Structure 1
């Protein structure tokens, strides 16, 4: 009978290790999927902002803002960050009236983009931290997915004349 406790103890330890590995693999998968979803949401918000900026520029602000918006809309993956940063600079260079519906559309799209950017950054950071753990790397738990990438874009939040007035 004394040998029986050793077998029970070893079985419990193996079960606990297996449960931990399954939980860790599930966590890696969930964070990876959430980071990929956040990247798609960020992309959608970038497109919405660029489209709203193009409409606004076409009607009101001229060729430089319109060109920056079109470049952001048409940019490939390698040029996307630079194009979005240029669009942000162009949007900051014009005076947007928050009472104008077309300007408000760009301002609102920029706010939503800022939130999507923050969510994406947080999820990428978490996914990279989990995938960087030695046990996860050793067992190659994230091998079915690309390594999560940050999207390095300036803060897209636009200040408006109403926001510049101290309270």
Structure 2
């Protein structure tokens, strides 16, 4: 009888440990997908900003500032990426929040379409970063649990890092 009870307990523990390991694996997959989505959103925002800067719809100084910020964000290494993306956000806010910027651009041929693309790209960055940081928080919590640490259910995987950038949209853009 004792052997039966011990056997049942061992089986239940094995099932629970297997379930926790599977959950941790699914969280890592979710984290990778969220990171890819964030990378795609940031890339799309850079592309739209470069398109806007090269469209000859803006004054030369604004075009140069936007193009330089987008280029720096594109070539930034992993260590400088958050800073470069924040700089792009600030440059974008400075340009778009100029007086009558949206009205002037909307009146230009193709300007309305560029504004719509820019609004969409900026909103996707905001949402993608939220989803990614949420996935990081949930994954870190799961990795820090006693069972996951003791049995090394995450293997030698490091804790994922949050992606912290200044992604506040320009005041004239409605993202929410």
TM-score for the superposition, normalised by structure 2 = 0.84
Structure 2 unaligned blocks of 5 or more: 107-111
Give matches, 1:13-52, under 5 Å.
13-52=9-48
Equivalent pair of 2:93/2:169 in contact (CA under 8 Å): no
Residue 90 of structure 2: aligned partner: 89
Residue 79 of structure 1: aligned partner: 80
Give how far 1:55 is off.
1.0
Residue 58 of structure 1: aligned partner: 54
Whether 1:110 and 2:111 are equivalent positions in the alignment is no
1:81-107 deviation per Cα after TM superposition (whole angstroms, max 9, x unaligned): 000000000010113528521122111
Aligned residues: 158
Equivalent pair of 1:111/1:157 in contact (CA under 8 Å): yes
CA distance in 2, matches of 1:65, 1:80: 16
CA distance in 1, matches of 2:53, 2:142: 43
Give how far 1:129 is off.
0.3
Structure 1 unaligned blocks of 5 or more: none
TM-score for the superposition, normalised by structure 1 = 0.88
SS at match of 1:94: helix
SS at match of 2:65: helix
Residue 155 of structure 1: aligned partner: 167
Out of 112, 115, 125, the position equivalent to 2:137 is: 125
Equivalent pair of 1:53/1:65 in contact (CA under 8 Å): yes
CA distance in 1, matches of 2:26, 2:167: 27
SS at match of 1:62: helix
Give how far 1:144 is off.
5.2
Moved over 4 A (4+): none
